[in-house]
Amino acid sequence: MAEKPRIRLPKQAGKGEVVEIKTLIAHVMESGQRKDPSGKIVPRKIIKRFACAFNGKPVFECELEPAIAANPYLQFSVKVEESGVFAFTWTDDDGAVITAEEKITVA
Amino acid sequence: MRFISRRDALRLIPGLTALVWSGTIERSQATPAEATTEIGRFTGGRTADPGKIALDLPEIAENGNSVTLAFDIDHPMTPERHVTEVLVVADSNPSPRVATFRFTPMSGRAAAATRIRLAGTQVVSVLAKTSDGKLFVAQRQVKVTVGGCGG
Amino acid sequence: MLNSPSSLIKTSSRKGRFLAGGTLVILAVSIAGVVSLQTRAQNARLAPLAIEGPASPVPWVRYAGWPNRDTSKFNSLTRIVSPPAPSSPRKLGKEVAGDPAAGQKLVADRSRGGSCLACHVMGPAGGADLPGNVGPDLSEIGNAGRDDEWLFNYVNDARVYNPDTVMPPWGTHGIFSQSEIGDIVAFLKTLKSPAKFKTALDDPMKRPAPVEQRDNLDALVNPAMWQVEERAPTLWKTAGPAGASCASCHSEPAQSFRTWAAAMPKWEARLNKVLGVEEFVTRHARATTGQNWLMQTEEHTALSTYLRYLANGAPIAIDTAGAEVKAAYQRGEALSTRKIGALNFSCADCHGADKSASKWIRGQWLGELRGQLDHFPTWRTSQQSVWDIRKRFQWCQVAIWADDLPPDAPEYGDLELYLASQNAGQKLSVPGIRH
């Protein structure tokens, strides 16, 4: 999980425009179903929650299960009325939180 | 994207053989009944209407490790009326829940995309609920390919 | 050719002598300079390579997690040892006894190399779920007027009826026992009506060929892009034990390698083999920066992917002119037609346009040779890792129950050269993304 999350969104938008945001984070999403070569179950370790807030207000959230593919990709929309900062958080099973921020200028 | 009849939407396609997926995964699988239970929890036992959810899922996935799923719901996203929650369920994965999405009026659109794992051919259901108590559903069977030489 | 310097400077004045001497020196230095430039240019064409030592671990041990069958008794790309075909069909003299229910299970058993459903539609067998169509539809074979002896011999070793068959010799190679073949024959005799497919997709004759539509060069789609966008450029600038990095000599890789990988593989006289990008990376790094990146290690895969990526858009165009290259091509072509493994397949059996290419084995499409190279190395979603073409060769071998070779085997070089020739003109698009 040393990689920075990847985020794609426009740098500028019109007031009231619905912008599409694409996010990806490198993570094995170990389902807890696989066995290692010795036959032991590899314990579950996944990103279990993703959240996006804009200027401090929650906009979108996703609860992920082991059925989400490795390197979880999430694409969603946000309607922007003002310039500001998106805050993204990914939460791992063990409570570790990864965060990222992106600015947008709204005309 | 196909739209299914109301009649079809209300019953999960039963009895499909769940195929074993490439080697390293445990063979335990949820049954369609467990998926139905999960859906029942979301809908509170009420009927869900088809037709509002445009669901993008392939008919055949060459491999179950990474299947793109996208949905777009035809519904306003105003403070008064908006989609609040979307549940994705797969009826023959080790565990039926795939993801839960939560939207707000600031979402602008009740639409999202992700990539999911499917442990074999099965039916994927997407259910949505709105702030004013409506329920929508879309379902698709995805055939997960069996590879050639037995690996 | 020069006269003795003393004769040339027999001029009267000292200044004259000095000037003449100076001119001579300048001339001599210039000539020496030109000669040394030519030598350097020649040497620059030959990239330094570590000639000694292997480019992969010795002894070669199959990857962990890959099937571990003992296939040493069957042909490989280095050995011809498979048991011979029977010279004639076996006379049975009686009906074959067998259990059709057991036979129905066996024909769908993936742990037995397919088995039959990989290539044949067979009525209800396997739930008529994505059967293949390399071989004919057998759903009505029970009505085709074939006697038990014919059916038995066909399954046991089809070569007694058709020496050019693609069908594995299930009996001769011991994949099914004689009594299991009896069960299969018993099942075949029950097949008397067309298969009932659950959906149009299950019918291999109606299934549309898969088209890869993902954007393989988008880092949000293809994890292999992280290798070429971040990992490889970092490795490029990292100094090795010898004190130099790749960047020490190649400061502008995006410029310098715009078409390099598209001209690989090449015949390498110093190694007396065909050298592909992957083995080149190992030997060149060892000889320059001192890094010992064996083939299939993580750093190695990142760099070989990167070098091919830098030539994206360039058409594959390998040298086919030299005598050594021609000989390698002949060898590669011969290797592509050699039947190997317990399943007794050659590359051409599955990927030859006149054989099984553009058909289905179970739910997997068999591509023609052309189109199989331009997207390697590729991210494989089923493996969650990047595979280069050598690893793909190795897997193909293991999948057909044949011995895999080390990734730097000369046979793989010949095969890669042959494959690259079949892919001349295809534009590189690396890293690819596949199932």
> What is the average per-residue pLDDT within B41-63?
95
Average pLDDT of every residue of chain C: 92
Distance from the B99 Cα atom to the nearest Cα atom in chain A, whole angstroms: 5
Chain C partners of A26 at a C-beta cutoff of 8 Å? Answer: 223, 226
User: E-strand spans in C89-245?
Assistant: none
Does residue C324 sit at the B interface (CB-CB below 8 Å)?
no
pLDDT band at residue C12 under the 50/70/90 scheme:
low
Does residue C151 sit at the B interface (CB-CB below 8 Å)?
no
The token pair at C212 is: 């890869």
Residue in A with minimal Cα distance to B92: A67
Digit-coded pLDDT (tens) for C313-344:
999 999 999 999 999 999 999 999 999 999 99
Per the DSSP assignment, residues forming a β-bridge with A53 are: A58, A87
Q: What pLDDT is recorded for position B5? A: 41
Distances (CA, A) of B23 to B151, C289, C366: 9, 40, 22
Q: What ranges in C137-252 are assigned the alpha helix state H?
A: 148-157, 178-188, 224-226, 232-237, 246-249
- A–B CB contacts, 8 A cutoff, strictly below: 101
Using CB atoms, list chains with 3+ pairs below 8 Å to chain A: B, C
Q: Name the superfamily (CATH) of residues A6-34+43-106.
A: Immunoglobulins (2.60.40.10)
Question: What ipTM was reported for this prediction?
Answer: 0.96
Q: For residue C381, give the nearest of B65, B147, B148 by CB distance.
A: B65
Whether the Cβ atoms of residue C104 and residue C124 lie closer than 8 Å to each other: yes
Instruction: Please tell me whether residue C125 adopts helix, strand or coil conformation.
Output: helix
Average pLDDT of every residue of chain B: 83
CB–CB of C65 and A37 under 8 A?
yes
The CB-side HSE value for C189 (13 A sphere, CA atoms) comes to 20
The token pair at A31 is: 């389902």
Does residue A73 sit at the B interface (CB-CB below 8 Å)?
yes
The token pair at C355 is: 């054989």
Q: List phi, psi (to 5°) of C362.
A: 45, -125
Distance from the A24 Cα atom to the nearest Cα atom in chain C, whole angstroms: 6
CB–CB of C220 and A70 under 8 A?
no
CATH of C215-435, one of 3.20.10.10, 1.10.760.10, 3.40.720.10, 3.50.30.30: 1.10.760.10
Cα separation, C236 vs C285, in Å, equals 10
Q: List phi, psi (to 5°) of C224.
A: -65, -20
The token pair at A35 is: 């066995």
Whether the Cβ atoms of residue C160 and residue C89 lie closer than 8 Å to each other: yes
User: E-strand spans in C230-356?
Assistant: 266-268, 273-275
Residue among C43, C47, C50 at smallest CA distance from C283: C50
Q: For residue B143, give the nearest of C110, C130, C400 by CB distance.
A: C130
Q: What pLDDT is recorded for position C198? A: 86
- Of all residues in chain C, the percent with pLDDT exceeding 70 is 91
C115 preceded by a cis bond (ω within 30 of 0):
yes
Residue among B51, B72, B57 at smallest CA distance from B121: B57
Q: What pLDDT is recorded for position C360? A: 95
Q: What pLDDT is recorded for position B138? A: 98
The token pair at B151 is: 């690996």
Does residue A3 sit at the B interface (CB-CB below 8 Å)?
no
Q: What ranges in B29-71 are assigned the alpha helix state H?
A: 32-43
Residue in C with minimal Cα distance to B150: C110
CB–CB of A63 and B99 under 8 A?
yes
Whether the Cβ atoms of residue A17 and residue A36 lie closer than 8 Å to each other: no
Cα separation, A100 vs A6, in Å, equals 9
Q: Where in chain C are the domains?
A: 100-202, 215-435
Q: What pLDDT is recorded for position B139? A: 97
- Of all residues in chain B, the percent with pLDDT exceeding 70 is 77
Residue among B150, B101, A106 at smallest CA distance from C364: B150
| Position C29 pLDDT exceeds 80 | no
Residue in A with minimal Cα distance to C67: A37
Residue among C255, C262, C207, C128 at smallest CA distance from B16: C128
Cα separation, A15 vs A107, in Å, equals 6
Identify the burial level of C106 via C-beta atoms within 10 angstroms of its C-beta, where 0-12 means exposed, 13-18 middle and 19 or more buried.
Answer: buried
CB–CB of B104 and A58 under 8 A?
yes
Question: Hey, of A15, A62, A65, A89, which one would you mutate to test binding to chain B, going by the most B CBs within 10 A of its CB?
Answer: A65
Give the CATH fold of the B6-144 domain: Immunoglobulin-like (2.60.40)
Compute how many other C-beta atoms are within 10 angstroms of the C-beta atom of residue A36.
Answer: 10
CB–CB of A66 and B95 under 8 A?
yes
Digit-coded pLDDT (tens) for C150-185:
999 999 999 999 999 999 999 999 999 999 999 999
C377 preceded by a cis bond (ω within 30 of 0):
yes
> What is the average per-residue pLDDT within B125-150?
90
| Reported pTM | 0.86
Q: What ranges in chain B are assigned the alpha helix state H?
A: 6-9, 32-43
Question: Hey, of B56, B71, B73, B106, which one would you mutate to test binding to chain A, going by the most A CBs within 10 A of its CB?
Answer: B106
What is the architecture, at CATH level 2, of domain C100-202? Answer: Orthogonal Bundle (1.10)
Whether the Cβ atoms of residue A29 and residue A69 lie closer than 8 Å to each other: yes
Q: Where in chain A are the domains?
A: 6-34+43-106
Q: Which residues of C touch A (CB under 8 A)?
A: 64-65, 219-220, 223, 226, 384
Whether the Cβ atoms of residue C74 and residue C81 lie closer than 8 Å to each other: yes
